[in-house]
Amino acid sequence: MSLQQEIIEKLGVKPSIDPAAEVRKRVDFLKEYVRLSHTKGLLIAISGGIDSAVTTFLCKQATDELTQETGQEYITLGVFQPYGEQADIEHSYAVAKTFNLQHVVETNIQEAVDEIALEAEHGLKKIGQPRHMSHQGKGNIKARTRMVTQYALAFELNLLVVGTDHASEALTGFYTKWGDGAVDITPLSSLNKRQVRQIAAHVGVPQEILDKAPTAGLWEGQTDEGELGVTYEDNSDYLEGKDINPKAKEILESLYNRTEHKRNVIPGI
């Protein structure tokens, strides 16, 4: 078995999907886990990108159906988490409006992130390594601070924190472990980026979001494809078992091998 075949099998990606069937399966998955966990609903951070938009639809559908079926209120809480001024935050609000979220909050993480970064810089200075945080390091602080805030809200409201992780991110390790990779449940995990886009079009994600370049928003001008050096088209083709450009394949498999620790739980002995 080739490494490509091993990765596809491990991540559970299908060569093609029926968007309607995938929506039904993933909504049922969310509903069942809410029941099993005895929680009151779901929390989703809405970045304004495709992944969180699709996840928002799935969460809202799941909690609406649970409310109707049980006669008890289940909610989806949408959380907007800008760092200072977020130029495209209107896309986050557009997602909430499109899918009729009644419960939304905005939590600005700038002050908390800046304080954590400052404390880390003090620590570096004390060990003889004076420097400002790198933009990558501060980006990771943003990801982890967002999750701390999400879990604070989720605890008080007895909600599950839902992640937007999918197979194209898992392949490259393109997420912050225990940051945006620290969630309770991941309804997109066996989909590649192309398949997420197919579902987005099926459920009516606004066109301005479908047209956006994918970005984690961790620093100004950052894009996923620019940082990784490979397109999501090649990434998705790879996960569907297709032959791709040898250079792109080399990049993807190198990223996969270098980031295995991110896909593993905490090791012990």
Please tell me the predicted confidence (pLDDT) of residue 130. 96
Fold of the CATH domain 15-228: Rossmann fold (3.40.50)
What pLDDT shows up at residue 221?
66
Average pLDDT, 10 consecutive residues per value, the chain (269 residues) = 96 98 98 98 96 98 98 98 92 96 97 98 97 92 96 98 96 88 95 97 94 70 75 95 96 95 89
What is the rounded CA–CA span in Å between residue 165 and residue 167?
7
Distance from first CA to last CA of the chain, Å, rounded? 30
AA letter at 208: E
What are the boundaries of each domain within the chain? 15-228
Q: Given the DSSP bridges, would you call strands 41-45 and 75-80 parallel, antiparallel or unpaired?
A: parallel
| pLDDT tens track for 173-207 | 988 888 888 999 999 999 999 999 999 999 999 99
Per-residue pLDDT, 222: 65
Contact criterion met (CB below 8 Å) for 219 and 139: yes
What is the Cα–Cα distance from 232 to 35, expressed in whole angstroms? 35
Q: What is the distance between the alpha carbons of residues 111 and 254, in angstroms, rounded to a whole number?
A: 36
Instruction: Quote the pLDDT of residue 217.
Output: 63
Active site residues: 51, 169
The per-residue pLDDT for range 79-99, each reduced to its tens digit, is: 999 999 988 899 999 999 999
Burial of 156 per CB tally in 10 Å (0-12, 13-18, 19+) = exposed
From residue 217, give the alpha-carbon distance in Å to each of 52, 58, 69, 210, 211.
13, 23, 38, 16, 16
Tell me what pLDDT residue 54 has: 98
pLDDT at 180: 84
